[in-house]
Amino acid sequence: MGKRIIPLILIISILALIYLPGPNGLISLIRREREKKRLQAEIFDLRVKNILLRSKRERVSSLKYWQEMVRKKLERKKGGG
């Protein structure tokens, strides 16, 4: 009889850990890990978008700067020439 109780207790314990409600259950743990990975991927995507936007902003401001410099130089040539 003692030999049957130990496997039964082990099976019940394993099932309890798998389906245990709350933060200690295996299913809850797996869901948290999936959510964590999803959020990490989302954070990475947002960082990449931020880098691309910053780069685009710098290129636009650089282009505007050089356009303004060329415009001023042309105005000086017209006025002084």
Confidence at residue 81, expressed as pLDDT on a 0 to 100 scale: 54
Q: Would the pTM count as exceeding 0.85?
A: no
**How many domains, the chain?**
1
Confidence at residue 1, expressed as pLDDT on a 0 to 100 scale: 54
Q: What is the DSSP string of 11-61?
A: HHHHHHHHH--STTSHHHHHHHHHHHHHHHHHHHHHHHHHHHHHHHHHHHH
What is the residue-level pLDDT of the chain in tens, covering all 81 positions?
Answer: 557 777 888 888 888 777 777 777 777 888 899 999 999 999 999 999 998 888 888 888 888 888 888 888 888 888 765
Confidence at residue 59, expressed as pLDDT on a 0 to 100 scale: 82
Residue 30 lies in domain: 2-80
Q: Which residue type does 68 have?
A: E
